[in-house]
């Protein structure tokens, strides 16, 4: 199993999961020099995260929550740095290979990139990693451990946005596109699902062509809800899709070798259906807003296309995308519901006494 | 996994978190695939960080003495963590591992417990667990018999989701089937145990008995309430299709309105929508 083959051969034979562990240095250099993200503010559409990164991020954010509560006060916000690179195989994707917590807490009112302490730690960390890692720091993550509410708290506040813009201005032109991850640890615990979103900021001269477009592409007519969900700078940044990858070796060892014993038990002890109610509510809300936007959009689009009937049906794609999204969400929820009910029934049969 | 060193069994139980192991396996993949700063055939090793006999995290090593800054940086965020051992991704403990363990222990954790973790990744066919732990004995490395995997909610959520999203999507029903298959496997082992000749441990017998008291089906009872199950399933399906139908109906109505097709029959009125677009 020794990989003693020539680089091109190895690349072709590499299974999909491990493709991200290969590094085509020449291609990466070219990509960094070309810097297509400088011309297109929305160049990057997704990030893909390694298991060690997501685990470290979640654990660090949770430790901030625990620490704050232990001290008898509010959960503490934490932050850290991300290691990775742009993906040369799938353009528009950023690979996050690792995450490193920073010893800095409670900074929502400060612009972090100015902090000397942070910068010093970053420099030392960067130097210590040079011996073994080729990736660079290309992003930061932080937590929003605000109280549970109807919406996720994954958004960029004004301070966050300023920080992210500063990073982007410093790093993007040098071939190092920077990304921001925001975690909602309380919601993650509640839904047993990592509540994490990735964002990039628009440069000041760029404005989204779609009016009142939210970072995730949806149209939100209610000012208040928009502010709650996305903060005051809702039109100055956009959301990237979050995906995950895992190497074949990790999967073999962790999933097949080690946690096989405990993972299967987890599927028997799943969240009770009551926890899905908030999700149902949010999906229902999304549906209502999608319906609203459809009405608003078609009212406007109907007017426009009446004037220039030769124009292609441009208003349609973003809205049908949104429909698709909502429909997918609804069907996912329905499947989950069905699975939950089946689980409950089977548990009743196998485990209950005297039914 | 046969080790060429003599070993005796000791009683301590080491607790490991999956994060430490994921770090090792990812590091291994990274080095072998050539995207690490180290050459592709470099030994894959590093330090283990933890507290109170629990290993939480691991950090790479390129040489044995250059990691001190990284450890200090880690401890700036987690001051309670110490270096509690080191690891190597290899199939066997070699003779130089003993010296290395001694060296590292004197450097990072003098007078304290220090372990070596060996992770095997090469062997496709082996049924044995790929991770084993050793401690320093007088002359040789002693194998630790007991170790267990432990996790906390944040880690578990992250790991589970990562596994689910990155692999082939398995439906929750398949997961359920798999879970019951696992239970069945274990029950068969119990059955074999009970059917064997010779004296049986009363403690184990007691545990088996308590198990069967709480699982009547396992003890041979069949599913008594077939009709209830079917009714429940039917009800679920009905609820689900009802919901889906109402949503698709609304979507259709809105689409009709948006594309300004004259709504057929009284559709728009049925869903109470304005049709004057």
Q: Residues with Cβ < 8 Å from B149, sequence gap 6 or more? A: A258, A259, A262, B15, B16, B17, B18
Q: What is the mean pLDDT of chain A?
A: 77
* A7: pLDDT strictly greater than 60: no
The pLDDT assigned to A93 comes to 92
**What residues in B contact A335, CB-CB < 8 Å?**
171-172
The answer to whether B33 contacts A18, with C-beta atoms less than 8 Å apart, is yes
3-state SS class at A48: strand
Average confidence (pLDDT) over A217-240? 85
The answer to whether A346 contacts B35, with C-beta atoms less than 8 Å apart, is no
**What residues in A contact B70, CB-CB < 8 Å?**
125, 128-129
The pLDDT assigned to A155 comes to 92
Average confidence (pLDDT) over A280-300? 62
The answer to whether A59 contacts B173, with C-beta atoms less than 8 Å apart, is no
Look at strands A78-86 and A136-143 and give their pairing: antiparallel
Nearest C-alpha neighbor of B90 from the set B61, B123, B137, B129: B123
* B89: pLDDT strictly greater than 70: yes
* B160: pLDDT strictly greater than 90: no
pTM above 0.80, yes or no: no
* B92: pLDDT strictly greater than 50: yes
Q: Tell how far CA A348 is from the center of its chain.
A: 37
A295 touches chain B (CB under 8 A): yes
Q: Which of A76, A86, A130, A257 to mutate to test the interface with B (most CBs of B within 10 A)?
A: A257
User: The tokens of B183 are what?
Assistant: 């239970």
Q: What is the mean pLDDT of chain B?
A: 75
CATH number (3.40.140.10, 3.30.70.60, 3.80.10.10, 3.40.50.880) of A19-256 reads: 3.40.140.10
The pLDDT assigned to A10 comes to 37
Q: Place A294 in a pLDDT band, splitting at 50, 70 and 90.
A: low
Q: What is the ipTM, given to two decimal places?
A: 0.73
**What residues in B contact A255, CB-CB < 8 Å?**
163, 167
The answer to whether A21 contacts B254, with C-beta atoms less than 8 Å apart, is no
Out of B149, B166, B179, closest to residue A258 by CB: B149
Average confidence (pLDDT) over B226-249? 75
B161 touches chain A (CB under 8 A): yes
B28 touches chain A (CB under 8 A): yes
Cα(B56)–Cα(B204) distance, integer angstroms: 33
The answer to whether B161 contacts A194, with C-beta atoms less than 8 Å apart, is yes
- If you ran DSSP here, which 8-state letter would residue A193 be given? S
A23 touches chain B (CB under 8 A): yes
Q: Which of A79, A185, A189, A250 to mutate to test the interface with B (most CBs of B within 10 A)?
A: A250
User: What's the fold here for domain B14-149?
Assistant: Cytidine Deaminase; domain 2 (3.40.140)
The answer to whether A246 contacts B40, with C-beta atoms less than 8 Å apart, is no
Between A317 and B146, whose confidence is greater? B146
* A99: pLDDT strictly greater than 90: yes
The pLDDT assigned to A60 comes to 93
Q: Domain boundaries in chain A?
A: 19-256, 272-296+318-350
* A261: pLDDT strictly greater than 50: yes
**What residues in A contact B215, CB-CB < 8 Å?**
350-351
**What residues in B contact A247, CB-CB < 8 Å?**
25-26, 29
Count of CA atoms in the C-beta half-sphere (13 A) of B7: 20
3-state SS class at A179: strand
B250 touches chain A (CB under 8 A): yes
**What residues in A contact B172, CB-CB < 8 Å?**
267, 335-336, 339, 343
**What residues in B contact A343, CB-CB < 8 Å?**
172, 176
Å between A131 CA and nearest CA of chain B:
6
The pLDDT assigned to A290 comes to 65
The pLDDT assigned to A199 comes to 94
**What residues in B contact A55, CB-CB < 8 Å?**
18-19, 22, 155, 158-159, 162
**What residues in A contact B19, CB-CB < 8 Å?**
52, 55-56, 59
B-proximal residues of A, 123-182, CB under 8 Å: 124-125, 127-135
* B182: pLDDT strictly greater than 60: yes
The answer to whether B162 contacts A346, with C-beta atoms less than 8 Å apart, is no
The pLDDT assigned to B9 comes to 37
Q: Which of A13-22, A189-198, B50-59 has the least mean pLDDT? A: A13-22
Between A279 and B208, whose confidence is greater? B208
**Chain B residue with the nearest C-alpha to that of A54:** B158
The pLDDT assigned to A109 comes to 65
Q: Residues with Cβ < 8 Å from A242, sequence gap 6 or more? A: A46, A47, A49, A196, A197, A198
**What residues in B contact A330, CB-CB < 8 Å?**
243-244, 247
Q: Which of A17-31, A106-120, A319-333 has the least mean pLDDT? A: A319-333
Q: Domain boundaries in chain B?
A: 14-149, 170-216+228-256
Å between B139 CA and nearest CA of chain A:
31
A89 touches chain B (CB under 8 A): no
Q: Place A354 in a pLDDT band, splitting at 50, 70 and 90.
A: very low
Cα distances (Å, whole numbers) of residue B4 to A31, B20, B134: 49, 26, 13
A262 touches chain B (CB under 8 A): yes
Look at strands A179-183 and A196-201 and give their pairing: antiparallel
Å between A61 CA and nearest CA of chain B:
9
Average confidence (pLDDT) over A93-107? 87
Out of A121, A253, A302, closest to residue B130 by CB: A253
The pLDDT assigned to B116 comes to 85
The pLDDT assigned to B62 comes to 74
The answer to whether B22 contacts A51, with C-beta atoms less than 8 Å apart, is yes
Q: Label residue A186 exposed, middle or buried (CB < 10 Å: 0-12, 13-18, 19+).
A: buried
Average confidence (pLDDT) over B89-100? 80
Q: What percent of chain B has pLDDT over 90?
A: 0
* A/B interface, count of CB pairs below 8 Å: 258
A-proximal residues of B, 80-119, CB under 8 Å: 119
* B4: pLDDT strictly greater than 90: no
Q: Tell how far CA B248 is from the center of its chain.
A: 39
The tens digit of pLDDT for each residue in A113-149 reads 667 877 888 888 888 888 788 888 999 999 999 888 8
Cα(A247)–Cα(A21) distance, integer angstroms: 8
The pLDDT assigned to A13 comes to 37
Q: Which of B77, B227, B242, B277 to mutate to test the interface with A (most CBs of A within 10 A)?
A: B77
Nearest C-alpha neighbor of A142 from the set A222, A75, A87: A75
Average confidence (pLDDT) over B218-244? 67
Look at strands A136-143 and A179-183 and give their pairing: parallel
Average confidence (pLDDT) over A84-89? 90
Average confidence (pLDDT) over B123-132? 68
Q: DSSP per residue over chain B, as a string?
A: ---SS----EEEEEEE-HHHHHHHHHHHHHHHHT-BSS-TTS--EEEEEEETTEEEEEEEESSTTS-HHHHHHHHHH-TT-EEEEEEEE-SS--HHHHHHHHHHHHHH-TTS--EEEEE--S-SS--S-SEEEEEE-SSSEEEEEEEEE---HHHHHHHHHHHHHHS----HHHHHHHHHHHHHHHHHHHHHHHHSSS---HHHHHHHHHHHHT-TTTTT-----HHHHHHHHHHHHHHHHHHHHHHHHHHHHHHHHHTTPPPPTTHHHHTT-----
The tens digit of pLDDT for each residue in A200-214 reads 999 988 888 877 788
A-proximal residues of B, 51-80, CB under 8 Å: 57, 60-63, 66-67, 69-70, 73, 76-78
């Amino acid at each position: 199993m020794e990989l003693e083959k020539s680089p091109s051969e190895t690349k072709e034979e590499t299974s999909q999961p491990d493709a991200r562990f290969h590094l085509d240095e020449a291609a990466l250099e070219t990509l960094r020099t070309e810097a297509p993200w400088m011309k297109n503010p929305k160049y990057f559409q997704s990030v893909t995260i390694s298991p060690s990164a997501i685990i470290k991020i979640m654990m660090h954010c949770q430790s901030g929550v625990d620490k704050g509560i232990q001290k008898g006060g509010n959960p503490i916000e934490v932050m850290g740095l991300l290691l990775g690179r742009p993906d040369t195989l799938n353009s528009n994707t950023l690979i996050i290979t690792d995450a490193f917590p920073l010893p800095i807490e409670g900074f929502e009112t400060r612009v972090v990139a100015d902090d000397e302490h942070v910068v010093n730690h970053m420099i030392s960390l960067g130097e210590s990693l040079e011996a073994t890692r080729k990736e660079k720091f290309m992003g930061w993550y932080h937590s929003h451990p605000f109280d549970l509410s109807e919406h996720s708290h994954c958004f960029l506040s004004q301070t966050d946005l300023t920080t992210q813009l500063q990073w982007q201005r410093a790093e993007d032109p040098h071939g190092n596109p920077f990304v921001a991850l925001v975690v909602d640890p309380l919601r993650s615990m509640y839904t047993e699902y990592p509540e994490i979103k990735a964002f990039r900021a628009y440069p000041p001269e760029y404005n989204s062509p779609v009016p009142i477009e939210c970072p995730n592409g949806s149209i939100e007519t209610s000012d208040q809800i928009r502010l709650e969900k996305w903060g005051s700078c809702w039109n100055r940044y956009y959301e990237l899709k979050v995906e995950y990858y895992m190497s074949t070796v990790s999967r073999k060892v962790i999933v097949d070798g080690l946690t096989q014993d405990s993972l299967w038990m987890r599927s028997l002890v799943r969240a009770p259906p009551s926890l899905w109610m908030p999700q149902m509510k949010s999906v229902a809300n999304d549906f209502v807003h999608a319906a609203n936007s459809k009405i608003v959009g078609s009212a406007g689009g109907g007017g426009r296309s009446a004037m220039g009937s030769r124009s292609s049906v441009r208003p349609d794609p973003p809205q049908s995308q949104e429909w698709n999204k909502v429909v997918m969400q609804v069907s996912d929820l329905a499947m989950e519901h069905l699975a939950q009910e089946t689980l409950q029934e089977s548990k009743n049969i196998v485990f209950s006494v005297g039914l | 996994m046969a080790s060429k060193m003599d070993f005796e069994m000791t009683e301590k139980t080491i607790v490991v978190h999956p994060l430490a192991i994921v770090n090792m396996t990812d590091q291994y993949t990274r080095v072998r695939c050539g995207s690490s700063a180290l050459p592709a055939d470099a030994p894959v090793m590093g330090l283990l960080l933890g507290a109170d006999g629990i290993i939480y995290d691991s950090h790479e090593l390129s040489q044995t003495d250059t990691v001190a800054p990284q450890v200090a940086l880690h401890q700036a965020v987690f001051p309670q963590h110490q270096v509690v051992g080191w690891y190597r991704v290899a199939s066997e403990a070699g003779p130089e591992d003993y010296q290395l363990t001694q060296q590292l222990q004197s450097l990072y954790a003098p007078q304290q417990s220090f372990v070596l973790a060996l992770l095997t990744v090469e062997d496709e066919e082996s049924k044995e667990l790929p991770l084993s732990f050793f401690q320093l004995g007088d002359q040789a490395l002693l194998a630790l018999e007991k170790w267990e995997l432990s996790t906390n909610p944040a880690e578990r959520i992250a790991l589970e989701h990562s596994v689910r999203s990155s692999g082939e999507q398995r439906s929750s029903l398949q997961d359920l089937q798999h879970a019951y298959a696992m239970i069945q496997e274990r029950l068969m082992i119990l059955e074999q145990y009970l059917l064997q000749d010779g004296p049986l441990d009363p403690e184990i017998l007691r545990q088996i008995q308590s198990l069967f008291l709480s699982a009547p089906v396992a003890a041979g009872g069949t599913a008594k309430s077939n009709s209830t199950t079917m009714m429940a399933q039917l009800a679920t399906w009905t609820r689900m299709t009802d919901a889906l139908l109402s949503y698709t109906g609304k979507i259709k109505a809105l689409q009709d309105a948006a594309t300004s097709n004259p709504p057929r029959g009284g559709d728009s009125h049925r869903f109470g929508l304005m049709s004057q677009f």
